[in-house]
Amino acid sequence: MNAAVHHLPSDIGRPFREGLAQRRLMLQFDAASGRAQFYPRPQSLYSEAGVQWREASGRGTVEALTLSRVAPPHLADAVPYALALVRLEEGPRLMARIAAPFETLAIGQAVAVAWDASGETPAFPVFMPA
Amino acid sequence: MGMLDSRAIAIVGYAETRLVRRSGRSALSLAGEAVDRLLERTGVERSRIDGLATTLAMSEAGNPFYSSLVAEGLGLSVSWCQATDIGGASAGGNIIRAGMAIEAGLCDIVLCLAADAVSTQDRSMQSGHRTEYADPAGYAGPLSAFALLSSVYDHRHGLPHQALARLAVTQRNGALLNDNACEVLRKPLTEQAYLDSRVVSDPLRILDCVMRCDGASAVLVMSTRRAREMGFEKLVHPIAYAERINFDPREERDADILQSGFTDVAPRAFQAAGMKPSDMQMLHWYDDFLIALILQLEQTGFCGPGEGGAFVLAHDMGHAGELPLNTGGGQISAGQPGLAGGGVNLVECIRQLFGEAGARQVRRHGNAMLTGIGVIPYARNWGTSAVMLLERSQ
């Protein structure tokens, strides 16, 4: 396998990745209706008016929640960790770890984005109870 | 009338290899074994096969010329060739695509193949959202997705632990009677052992999940007219089919993550056949995770939302029961040969319809319902759902 190709991310998500470096959670919004979408797509899912990138509030609620005792390689030392689908205030679901003890978490709980400085650079968004 | 409701397409034979954990073999090697067996059983000469539909193989995933590799390796020169890449729905999808190619006059006799040696070698790499947005977040593969789905089900309805245990044991009992099931899975299981099995991602237990293995299956498809000309007496017809790729991308279904494409494809397939769930004599349903069976029961019309557990406990779904399900163990108890996994359900379905399942033969085998589940999209329920209704020729 060609490692260079493997690691080349899509151009579509560049504003999202640039946002990570500034600890800003960037989302695409439909240029006509303002409806947000995640993950980044080449078109708006909702109209042919195109997308605009804006920073998200970073607030959301837990919609699905698991304590994962398995992990992708870069998180092998972090198990077990709470993994969630967070319904962002702007609408879309985002998959993210919740940096809090699993026993203290529940579906429906309010969370806010946090930036884990200890891990990768730039940090991928994690959430904390709000 | 279309090719399905007119019974114009016939499955005339099937074959499979044993399912083996880390066989050390390749997908092509396994495919060759299945095809040898198929040709022997059907008496069809290899030179008469002029169409090929194959699932992909994770073990060969880096090869962009996969179906041509298979044709070349098997010595087939075909006038129609297809690689079906709708994940676990591909084995069933092969049958329908083969029928379409035959109906279009592009070919006459089609080999439908499913082979993968993923437990020996996995060369797959899912570019796109999986590597860019899911893996960095902590996604550990399909079991993460099904654990998250299960948590929503648990929150809304309460997970039906006893029913899941019943399903695990029922299918395991099928595997005990299936010489082709993975040897490591052919051990008796109790409901308590299921309930006590290790949690891998709350609330998902290890015995909720399939185990990957290696294996291959092969099915021969032709027109019913050709099958009669060639003297085949046992025929199985696909009589209705519906598939949905990328279900509900704009969340128009109440933004409910539990909703899958089965809410769309099952009504369409039943309507096309003029049938209803209670007409089905057996179920061969895609079972990568036990919770998927509960959701299929609720979303294909056998019961309502939240009632899947009660339905399972109220029905004997063993081979001798009133509504047999995955009688050979399904993938859960026979093993999942990677992208060929749908072939496990498909071949058992055909074997039962042919009345050739031996000690696990069901009593009523005039029709069957086959399902397929495909890919996992980002932060949604599975993306591909497929239903096929099949009937034994009268």
Q: Which residues of B touch A75 (CB under 8 A)?
A: 138
Which of B129, B152, B250 is opposite residue A39, by nearest beta carbon?
A: B129
Q: Give the pLDDT of residue B116.
A: 98
Compare all CA atoms of chain A with the CA of B128 and give the residue at the minimum distance.
A10
**Mean pLDDT, residues B258-272:** 98
Q: Please provide the average confidence, as pLDDT, over all residues in chain B.
A: 97
- Tens-level pLDDT at each residue, chain A (130 residues): 444 445 688 899 999 999 998 999 999 999 999 999 999 999 999 999 999 999 999 999 999 999 999 999 999 999 999 999 999 999 999 999 999 999 999 999 999 999 866 655 668 899 999 9
Residue A6's pLDDT is 53
Chain B: closest CA distance from residue A74 (Å): 8
Report whether pLDDT(B301) > 80: yes
Q: Look at B133 and A67 and tell me if their CB atoms are within 8 Å.
A: no
Q: Which of residues 47-76 of A touch B (CB under 8 A)?
A: 63-72, 74-75
For residue A119, the model assigns a pLDDT of 59
Long-range contacts of A39-48 (CB under 8 A, 24+ apart): A39/A13, A39/B129, A39/B132, A39/B133, A39/B378, A40/A10, A40/A12, A40/A13, A40/A15, A40/A16, A41/A12, A42/A12, A45/B249, A45/B250, A46/B250
Handedness of CA B77, B80, B86, B90 (dihedral sign): negative
pLDDT at A123: 81
| Contact (Cβ atoms closer than 8 angstroms) between residue B264 and residue B249 | no
The domain spans of chain B are 9-121+213-229, 138-180+237-392
pLDDT score recorded for residue A118:
63
State ipTM: 0.95
Burial grade of B185 (CB within 10 A; 0-12, 13-18, 19 or more) = buried
Question: Cβ contact (<8 Å) for A45 and B250?
Answer: yes
Write out pLDDT tens, residues B34-74.
999 999 999 999 999 999 999 999 999 999 999 999 999 99
Chain B neighbors of A81, CB-CB under 8 A: 138
pLDDT the model gives residue A2:
41
Whole-number pLDDT of residue A3: 42
Strand partners, B30: none
Average confidence (pLDDT) over B73-99: 98
Intrachain domains B9-121+213-229 and B138-180+237-392 with the same fold = yes
Structural contact between residues B23 and B356, judged by C-beta atoms closer than 8 angstroms: no
Nearest to A68 among B138, B250, B379 (CB): B138
Neighbours of B34 (CB within 10 A): 25
Per-residue pLDDT tens digits for B371-380:
999 999 999 9
Residue-wise pLDDT for B103-133, tens only, equals 999 999 999 999 999 999 999 999 999 999 9
B240 close contact with A: CB closer than 8 A: no
- For B123, the closest chain A residue by CA position comes to A1
Query: What are chain A's domains?
Result: 3-129 (2.40.50.840)
Q: What is the topology classification, in CATH, of domain B138-180+237-392? A: Peroxisomal Thiolase; Chain A, domain 1 (3.40.47)
* Interface residue A21 vs chain B (CB under 8 A): no
* CATH of region B9-121+213-229: 3.40.47.10
Chain B residues touching A97 at Cβ < 8 A: 137-138
Q: Does A102 touch chain B (CB under 8 A)?
A: yes
